[in-house]
């Protein structure tokens, strides 16, 4: 090539050589016929033609994805060539490019001249999820590329070289057909329906492609390939595409992806294109990590919670937020997730400690989900929601729990706009009411819910949507601004505090925040006509938004204005009408109610969190005794309930241990629990009698003072000198038995002293049992939330607990407790309390 381009500028020759190598590589890899390369120059202009003998195989232009591992060749040519294209003639396909270093770009360029050849049939893919298909397409390309380059592919993956080549050919055909169909289809949501023209002569190869991908994925799960296995929903979606091709090409009917029975279903959050801005804008402490476990995005809420600056965390391994004793479990789980696409904790709320930068532990509930990026990557999103703890268990965190975050799944296409007849307006009204109600009722994170509502409105009736909220002092804050096309937000729209709202302000926004409206404005004033700073800020926003018409409506609940909803259409669109204003009036009723409920729930959770912390005792410090406790409130309640534990030193020097559970998961249960705990403390210190007598007196007091309350309780006293030996004297009032785990892994329940529940019958005899307590053994007391699961027998649950404690017999006591919560408490819908004691002789 260099000899043919003698006299051309060196930098032009280098570029021509690079682009020619890309086209030749594509021809060798995909056509696998003889390749003809023609190169010449004229007056400094370079022309290159690369031909092959497979005209029926079209070129497949790809998007330039920043993280793509393959398929960049044509994108490189598009970027660097002055002109490029392809054509079919005389039984050959030719791809070409030209470099014009000192001349204007020729008027025509592109790959569109190469059609899909031969007889075709139409295949309809109903509700295809565009993002998931792109991820599956990217994964399949990478898998096939590795199989092509693997010298021992039959030994490695159990498929032949010829099968891999056939699979690669038909993949290129599928990608070309999809690209062509997507170019001719307007997408308007998460899913899209495509009609693709598929060549009949390629139909038999679809089964070969399925066979190769299944074997390749199995090899990837065994670690035999560098390519990772596809996540289950990505794998299933691509299998559905192949099934539809095979079924419809043989005359069968189409089946929508959304109606496919038994397919792994990713949540709406997982099917939303990942955007770092979602993480950064969230009020929930959130972090995002890539497939290598590196932090790629986080927010100030998480940085503040764990003592970091946001920028300091980017690029660090996720393990910097995980206590050292849990890191090996994290690495094993993350590796298993990458290899299998399956996880025990994905989508569940897990109580565990996070690691603060200063080395202390911060109790949180970790919620992990997976999202697909449009470039084929998988991103793991972790939310660290603070939870209540026992004093001394971990470093307490005095911040409200913002509640779980749930994303709204958008519809497949935008609904028609209002104004086209009563039937159309009724259909739009029903759709919007259902979608906005779903958006807010399914999340307790208020700002996230409002942002999702705005997404719904911009997809179905407006170009822009804005929400302003009033705080308890009457100050206004702009909490979200959403456009149908996210790139349009580059105009620099500001969020945050708005100018003060005065009593006499007369601008549109001030009127709405005082309760007027909905206001329909079709003639928007210019900013120089503003009557106040608040009015000026709003009119400046309208100017930024190129607003042609707007509807501004107050959010009202319980005779109080909570904020304003503003929808905008630009000057290029039809203006809003009176019918639209009536529709918005209906919409804000439901939105206002949800905003009010979310705020009430937030206040309730904050109060419950503080109350629960105040009710948990501080554990005593006892020589030769390690004592550790954990409390994990239910992830489905207001974080206050009747589970409790206690530990204290009696006047004679013995150690008292208590665990119990008052029936109920509300404020009454918490109050009763506190009263019972304090009564038991007083009785135990006063009488210092055997445990059965202490429980009898507690039962009598409960029946007298709280006749309608019932509770389970276990009371134990550890006796013995500082150097041992020790004994535990114990009695149970309907509570689960104590579990003793010896250092060698032997376990047994101390279940010989069971009696009736507290509050049932104080005259019923209660036994006391006495058992030895070996040095370095672990005595565990726990509530039923740790082990009980729907549909599982109590015997099986208790056996599972024994297996876990046996495996942790020699682990440090804090590790012992954390691993039990992590291994058994994940996803529990009940409160969990546990108390663990381990005697240690001095000098051991």
- Reported in sequence order, the residue ranges of 495-654 that DSSP labels E, i.e. its strands, are 496-497, 519-521, 547-557, 560-570, 625-632, 643-649
Q: What is the pLDDT of residues 252-289, one digit of tens each?
A: 888 877 656 555 544 434 444 566 776 876 767 889 98
Longest dimension (CA), the chain: 111
Q: Which two tokens stand for residue 527?
A: 């900013």
| Residue range 617-839, CATH number | 3.60.40.10
Q: What is the average pLDDT across 242-258?
A: 85
Task: Say yes or no to pLDDT of 67 above 50.
Answer: no
CA distances 85 to 108, 182, 533, 732, Å, are 9, 20, 56, 83
Q: What is the pLDDT of residue 189?
A: 45
CB-CB contact of 670 with 637 (8 Å):
no
Please give the helix or strand (H or E) that residue 330 lies within, else none.
Answer: helix 324-340
Query: Mean pLDDT lowest for which of 109-123, 134-148, 488-502, 573-587?
Result: 109-123
Q: What is the pLDDT of residues 112-153, one digit of tens each?
A: 544 555 688 899 887 787 777 888 888 888 888 889 888 888
Give long-range contacts, CB 8 A cutoff, 24+ apart: 23-28. Answer: 23/48, 23/50, 23/73, 23/77, 23/95, 23/97, 24/50, 25/73, 26/59, 26/73, 26/74, 26/95, 27/51, 27/52, 27/95
Report how far residue 550's alpha carbon sits from residue 754's, in angstroms, rounded to the nearest whole number: 70
Which candidate, 581, 550, 587, 578, places its Cα nearest to that of 566?
A: 550
What confidence tier does 66 reach under pLDDT thresholds 50, 70, 90? very low
Query: Mean pLDDT lowest for which of 137-141, 223-227, 395-399, 725-729?
Result: 395-399
Task: Say yes or no to pLDDT of 623 above 70.
Answer: yes
What confidence tier does 104 reach under pLDDT thresholds 50, 70, 90? low
Of 447-451, 473-477, 806-810, the range with the highest mean pLDDT is 806-810
What confidence tier does 374 reach under pLDDT thresholds 50, 70, 90? low
Topology agreement, domain 422-599 and domain 617-839: no
CA distances 840 to 625, 715, 813, Å, are 6, 21, 12
| Residue range 422-599, CATH number | 3.30.450.40
DSSP class of residue 636 equals T
Q: Which two tokens stand for residue 720?
A: 């013995």
CB-CB contact of 802 with 779 (8 Å):
no
CB-CB contact of 71 with 141 (8 Å):
yes
Q: What is the average pLDDT across 525-534?
A: 80
Q: Three-state DSSP class for 789?
A: coil
Q: Which two tokens stand for residue 313?
A: 């965390």
Query: Mean pLDDT lowest for which of 285-289, 609-613, 689-693?
Result: 609-613
Question: Residue 223 — left, alpha, or beta (φ > 0 → left; ψ -120 to 50 → alpha)?
Answer: left
Is pLDDT larger for residue 340 or for residue 495?
495
| Angle of the 324-340 helix axis to the 813-824 helix axis, nearest 10 | 30
Q: What is the pLDDT of residue 157?
A: 86
We find that the CATH architecture of domain 276-386 is 2-Layer Sandwich (3.30)
Query: Where are the chain's structural domains?
Result: 10-99, 120-259, 276-386, 422-599, 617-839
Please give the helix or strand (H or E) that residue 629 lies within, else none.
Answer: strand 625-632
Indicate if the alpha-carbon torsion angle 256, 262, 268, 271 is positive or negative. negative
% of the chain at pLDDT higher than 90: 21
Report how far residue 226's alpha carbon sits from residue 228's, in angstroms, rounded to the nearest whole number: 6
Is pLDDT larger for residue 357 or for residue 275?
357
Torsion of CA 340, 341, 343, 349, to 10 degrees: 170
Of 167-176, 331-340, 346-355, 798-807, the range with the highest mean pLDDT is 798-807
Task: Say yes or no to pLDDT of 514 above 70.
Answer: yes
Q: Which two tokens stand for residue 750?
A: 């101390």
Which candidate, 209, 139, 116, places its Cα nearest to that of 168?
A: 209
Q: What is the average pLDDT across 4-30?
A: 84
Task: Say yes or no to pLDDT of 333 above 70.
Answer: yes
DSSP class of residue 226 equals S
Which candidate, 129, 133, 371, 344, places its Cα nearest to that of 235?
A: 133
Contacts (Cβ under 8 Å, ≥6 apart) of 652: 688
Cβ count near 330 (within 10 Å): 17
Give long-range contacts, CB 8 A cutoff, 24+ apart: 261-265. Answer: 263/233, 263/236, 263/237, 264/232, 264/233, 264/235, 264/236, 265/233
Q: What is the average pLDDT across 192-215?
A: 88
Torsion of CA 513, 516, 521, 526, to 10 degrees: -40
Report how far residue 246's alpha carbon sits from residue 240's, in angstroms, rounded to the nearest whole number: 10
State the residue for tokens 């370095």.
776
Q: What is the average pLDDT across 471-492?
A: 76
Q: What is the pLDDT of residue 263?
A: 52
Q: What is the pLDDT of residue 634?
A: 66
Task: Say yes or no to pLDDT of 420 above 50.
Answer: no
Q: Which two tokens stand for residue 390?
A: 């026992």
DSSP class of residue 446 equals H
State the residue for tokens 């930024």.
544
Contacts (Cβ under 8 Å, ≥6 apart) of 472: none
Cβ count near 183 (within 10 Å): 9
Task: Say yes or no to pLDDT of 646 above 50.
Answer: yes
Q: What is the pLDDT of residue 203?
A: 86
Q: What is the pLDDT of residue 441?
A: 63
Q: Three-state DSSP class for 646?
A: strand
Q: Three-state DSSP class for 370?
A: strand
CATH entry 3.40.640.10 includes domain 10-99? no
Mean pLDDT over the full length of the chain: 79
Q: Which two tokens stand for residue 591?
A: 């939105």
Q: What is the pLDDT of residue 245?
A: 92
CB-CB contact of 634 with 785 (8 Å):
yes
Report how far residue 301's alpha carbon sits from residue 384's, in angstroms, rounded to the nearest whole number: 9
State the residue for tokens 């999809």.
178
Question: How many alpha carbons lie under 13 Å from residue 376 in its C-beta half-sphere?
Answer: 23
CB-CB contact of 473 with 498 (8 Å):
no
Cβ count near 836 (within 10 Å): 24
């Amino acid at each position: 090539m260099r000899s043919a381009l003698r006299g051309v500028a060196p930098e032009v020759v280098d570029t021509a050589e690079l682009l020619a190598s890309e086209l030749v590589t594509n021809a060798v890899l995909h056509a696998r016929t003889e390749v003809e390369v023609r190169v010449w120059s004229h007056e400094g202009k370079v022309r290159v033609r690369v031909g092959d003998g497979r005209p029926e195989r079209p070129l497949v232009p790809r998007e330039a994805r920043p993280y793509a591992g393959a398929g960049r060749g044509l994108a490189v040519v598009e970027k660097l060539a002055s002109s490029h294209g392809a054509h079919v003639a005389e039984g050959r396909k030719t791809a070409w490019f030209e470099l014009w270093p000192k001349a204007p770009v020729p008027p025509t360029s592109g790959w569109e001249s190469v059609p899909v050849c031969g007889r075709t049939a139409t295949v309809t893919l109903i509700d295809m999820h565009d993002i998931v298909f792109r991820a599956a397409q990217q994964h399949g390309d990478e898998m096939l590329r590795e199989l092509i380059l693997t010298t021992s592919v039959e030994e490695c993956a159990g498929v032949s070289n010829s099968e891999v080549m056939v699979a690669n050919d038909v993949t290129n055909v599928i990608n070309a057909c999809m690209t062509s169909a997507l170019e001719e289809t307007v997408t308007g949501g998460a899913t899209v329906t495509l009609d693709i023209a598929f060549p009949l002569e390629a139909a038999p190869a679809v089964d070969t492609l399925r066979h190769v991908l299944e074997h390749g994925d199995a090899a990837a799960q065994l670690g035999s390939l560098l390519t990772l296995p596809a996540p289950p929903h990505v794998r299933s979606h691509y299998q559905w595409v192949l099934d539809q091709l095979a079924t419809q090409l043989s005359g069968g009917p189409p089946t929508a992806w959304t109606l496919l029975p038994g397919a792994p279903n990713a949540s709406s959050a997982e099917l939303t294109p990942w955007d770092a801005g979602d993480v950064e804008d969230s009020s929930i402490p959130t972090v995002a990590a890539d497939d290598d476990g590196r932090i790629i995005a986080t927010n100030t809420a998480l940085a503040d919670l764990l003592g970091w600056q946001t920028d300091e965390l980017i690029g660090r391994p996720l393990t910097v937020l995980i206590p050292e004793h849990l890191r090996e479990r994290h690495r094993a789980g993350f590796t298993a997730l990458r290899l299998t696409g399956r996880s025990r904790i994905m989508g569940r709320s897990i109580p565990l400690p996070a690691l603060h930068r200063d080395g202390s532990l911060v109790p949180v509930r970790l919620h992990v989900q997976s999202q697909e990026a449009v470039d084929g990557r998988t991103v793991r999103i972790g939310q660290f929601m603070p939870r209540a703890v026992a004093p001394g268990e971990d470093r307490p965190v005095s911040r409200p729990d913002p509640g779980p975050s749930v994303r709204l799944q958008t519809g497949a296409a935008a609904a028609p706009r209002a104004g086209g007849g009563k039937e159309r307006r009724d259909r739009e009204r029903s759709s919007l009411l259902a979608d906005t109600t779903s958006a807010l009722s399914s999340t307790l994170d208020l700002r996230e819910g409002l942002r999702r509502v705005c997404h719904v409105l911009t997809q179905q009736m407006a170009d822009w949507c804005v929400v302003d909220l009033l705080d308890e002092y009457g100050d206004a804050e702009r909490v979200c601004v959403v456009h149908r096309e996210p790139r349009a937000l580059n105009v620099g729209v500001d969020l945050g505090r708005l100018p003060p709202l005065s009593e006499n302000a007369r601008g549109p926004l001030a009127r709405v925040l005082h309760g007027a409206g909905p206001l329909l404005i079709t003639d928007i004033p210019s900013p120089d006509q503003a009557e106040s700073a608040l009015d000026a800020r709003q009119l400046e926003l309208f100017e930024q938004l190129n607003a042609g018409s707007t509807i501004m409506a107050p959010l009202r609940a319980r005779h109080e204005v909570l904020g304003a909803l503003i929808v905008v259409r630009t000057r290029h669109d039809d203006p809003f009408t009176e019918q639209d204003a009536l529709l918005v009036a209906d919409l804000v009723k439901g939105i206002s109610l949800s905003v009010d409920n979310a705020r009430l729930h937030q206040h309730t959770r904050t109060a419950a969190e503080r109350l629960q912390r105040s009710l948990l005792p501080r554990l005593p410090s006892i020589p030769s005794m390690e004592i550790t406790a954990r409390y994990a409130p239910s992830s489905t309640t207001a974080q206050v309930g009747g589970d409790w534990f206690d530990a204290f030193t009696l006047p004679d020097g013995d150690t008292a241990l208590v665990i119990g559970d008052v029936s109920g998961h509300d404020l009454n249960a918490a109050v009763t629990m506190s009263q019972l705990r304090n009564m038991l403390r007083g009785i135990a210190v006063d009488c210092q009698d055997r445990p059965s007598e202490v429980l009898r007196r507690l039962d009598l007091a409960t029946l007298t003072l709280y006749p309608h309350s019932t509770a389970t309780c276990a009371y134990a006293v550890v006796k013995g000198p500082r150097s041992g030996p020790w004994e535990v004297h114990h009695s149970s009032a309907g509570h689960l038995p104590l579990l003793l785990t010896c250092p060698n892994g032997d376990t047994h329940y101390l279940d010989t002293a069971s009696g009736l529940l507290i509050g049932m019958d104080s005259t019923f005899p209660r036994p006391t049992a006495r058992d030895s307590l070996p040095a370095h053994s672990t005595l565990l007391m726990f509530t039923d939330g740790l082990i009980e699961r729907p549909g599982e027998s109590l015997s099986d649950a208790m056996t599972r607990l024994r297996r876990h404690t046996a495996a942790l017999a020699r682990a440090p006591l804090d590790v012992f407790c954390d691993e039990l919560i992590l291994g058994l408490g994940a996803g529990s819908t009940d409160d969990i309390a546990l108390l663990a004691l381990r005697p240690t002789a001095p000098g051991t």
